Structure formats: structure tokens, C-alpha cells
């Protein structure tokens, strides 16, 4: 990892206040949290050994091949709108990747509710968000991002639902370039977070869920449901029609999709 390049492009160009790079680290999210890092900076590692995923899962990244980093950022946002940061981050990631992949044919990036980025229907990127200072006007966000870039071997148990950029394109990609471009895009479209309807419409345009039938698990009591997805509401919840025709909305964390 060329930490000098990241510093030059992101800090000296005044986008970020700092980039901290570790050759090896257990988790960039954990480090950012434990060290109370100030906003507008990035913690990144070339070898994340105990990456955390959503729902207590592990996030496995390959040494020197994948992108694992945490962006520390403050947002003036109400508690009701915190989820918008998730939608915003996944939207920016998908836009960034689309530009990177524009010269490749037959590649399709889309978003999967609530915040996965898929490439050719397989997960390529995950976001793990942590918020603190809920009583303050400005909330403090730890935005952890894992992107499978040049990983060749996907663990067998998830090979049907996960992939990497290099697996789909058959070429190696430049990790630093992707990160720099993501950060530039992230900082250039921040106004979208204040215009909730615009952000959610942009997000929906990039997702293919609406009209689809899905199976999901209701986390609270572990029962499975089959439903048609009707919409994503502006508050970020998923509006579905259950098999008994009942229309219900679920928030992120209340359900997980069954693959
Ligand atoms: C998911 O489960 O989809 C979210 C995965 C998030 C992984 C990233 S990698 C960088 C950051 N540090 C962590 O420990 N996790 C996040």
C-alpha cells in the first residue's frame, strides 16, 4: 500500500486531515473507536486480521489485496436520519465503482438494501457504521468499509454470494486509486445527505429490489417470510407485501435476507 500517495492526494489536497496506515491491524473500526480519532480522516490497513461485519459476523480480507478502511466523519443530522449516512456511503461506493468498471462489458453494479454493493449479483463491498454522540447536534460516525478488490480466493461457503473486482474483470485493480476516487466522490456530494428524497431516489435507481420476491428472516423471532418488495421508504425502511397480502415496513437490522 502506497501510504505516501494517499497522503499526497487526500491530505495535501486538503480533503482529509489525516490518513493513518498500518501494515497490520485487527480492525480499522475498532482502532478508530478506541483512539477517539478526530473527524475527516481515514484509518487503513494492508492486512486486517479481525475485521468486523454486520450482525457480529467476521469480514475476511486478503493481505495486500483488498481495501479495508474506516472514514471518521461528523454529520449535523437528526437521530431519525442517521440511516441516511449508510445509504449515502453505499450510493457513493456504487458510483465510484461504476466509473472504474465503465470500460468493462457485462459488468453490473447495483445496491442491495440496506447497504450492500453487488457486482454481477454478488456482494463485493460491505459497510459497518458506528454512531456516537447521539444527543449532540453533530453526530460522530465511524464508517467502516471493506471492498474485495484483488482477492482471488473467495471462501467456499460464501462463493455463491460474494466476489471481488479482479474475479469479475480478470485484471488487477489499483487499491489506492479506488480509495482516492471514493473519498473525492464522498466529499463532493455531501449535500445529498440533507436532501433525503433526492438521496433515496438516487439510491433506488441503483437498486434492483423493487418488484422482486424475496425470502427474509425476521431477526426478533427468527421466523422466515416471503414477500414482494414494494418500495424503499424515505426513512430508509423496506416496504414489503407479505404472502398474506399484509403490507409492512422493516428497518435495517430487523430482517436479513435469506440467499
Ligand atoms: C458487512 O458485514 O457487510 C460489513 C463489513 C464491513 C467491513 C469493514 S472492513 C473495514 C472496517 N473495519 C472492520 O472491522 N470492519 C469494517
Give the pairing type, strands 18-22 and 41-45: parallel
Confidence label for 12 from pLDDT (cuts 50, 70 and 90): confident
Assessment of whether the complete model's pTM goes beyond 0.85: yes
Grid coordinates standing for 189?
456530494
For ligand 1, whether the C-beta of 59 sits within 6 Å is yes
Percent of the chain scoring above 90 in pLDDT = 71
The pLDDT of residue 235 is: 84
For ligand 1, whether the C-beta of 51 sits within 6 Å is yes
For ligand 1, whether the C-beta of 126 sits within 6 Å is yes
The pLDDT of residue 145 is: 98
End-to-end CA distance of the chain, in Å?
Answer: 34
Give the ligand 1 atom nearest the CA of 54.
2
Q: Are 2 and 23 in contact (CB under 8 A)?
A: no
Structure confidence by residue, pLDDT tens digits, 127-146: 999 999 999 999 999 999 99
Q: Which residues of 109-135 are buried (b: 16+ CB within 10 A; e: fewer)?
A: bbbbbbbbbbbeebbbbbbbbebeeee
The pLDDT of residue 259 is: 61
Q: How far apart are CA 234 and CA 10, in angstroms?
A: 32
Amino acid at each position: 500500500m502506497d501510504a505516501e500517495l494517499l497522503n499526497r492526494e487526500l491530505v495535501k489536497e486538503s480533503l482529509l486531515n489525516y490518513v493513518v496506515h498500518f501494515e497490520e491491524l485487527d480492525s480499522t473500526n475498532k482502532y478508530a473507536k478506541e483512539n477517539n480519532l478526530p473527524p475527516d480522516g481515514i484509518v487503513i490497513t494492508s492486512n486486517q486480521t479481525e475485521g468486523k461485519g454486520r450482525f457480529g459476523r467476521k469480514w475476511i480480507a486478503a493481505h495486500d489485496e483488498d481495501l479495508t478502511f474506516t472514514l471518521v466523519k461528523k454529520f449535523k443530522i437528526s437521530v431519525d436520519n442517521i440511516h441516511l449516512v449508510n445509504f449515502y456511503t453505499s450510493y457513493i461506493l456504487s458510483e465510484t465503482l461504476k466509473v472504474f468498471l465503465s470500460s468493462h462489458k457485462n459488468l453490473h453494479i447495483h445496491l442491495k438494501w440496506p447497504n450492500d454493493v453487488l457486482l454481477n449479483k454478488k456482494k463485493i463491498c460491505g459497510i459497518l457504521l458506528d454512531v456516537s454522540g447521539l444527543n449532540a447536534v453533530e453526530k460522530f460516525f465511524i464508517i467502516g468499509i471493506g471492498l474485495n478488490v484483488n482477492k482471488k480466493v473467495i471462501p467456499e461457503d460464501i462463493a455463491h454470494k460474494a466476489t471481488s473486482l479482479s474475479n469479475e474483470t480478470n485484471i488487477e485493480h489499483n487499491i489506492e486509486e479506488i480509495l482516492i476516487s471514493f473519498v473525492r466522490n464522498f466529499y463532493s456530494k455531501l449535500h445529498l445527505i440533507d436532501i433525503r428524497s433526492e438521496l433515496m431516489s438516487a439510491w433506488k435507481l441503483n437498486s434492483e429490489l423493487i418488484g422482486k420476491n424475496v425470502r427474509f428472516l425476521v431477526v426478533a423471532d427468527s421466523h422466515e417470510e416471503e414477500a414482494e418488495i414494494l418500495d424503499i421508504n424515505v426513512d430508509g425502511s423496506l416496504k414489503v407485501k407479505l404472502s398474506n397480502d399484509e403490507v409492512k415496513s422493516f428497518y435495517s437490522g430487523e430482517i436479513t435476507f435469506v440467499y
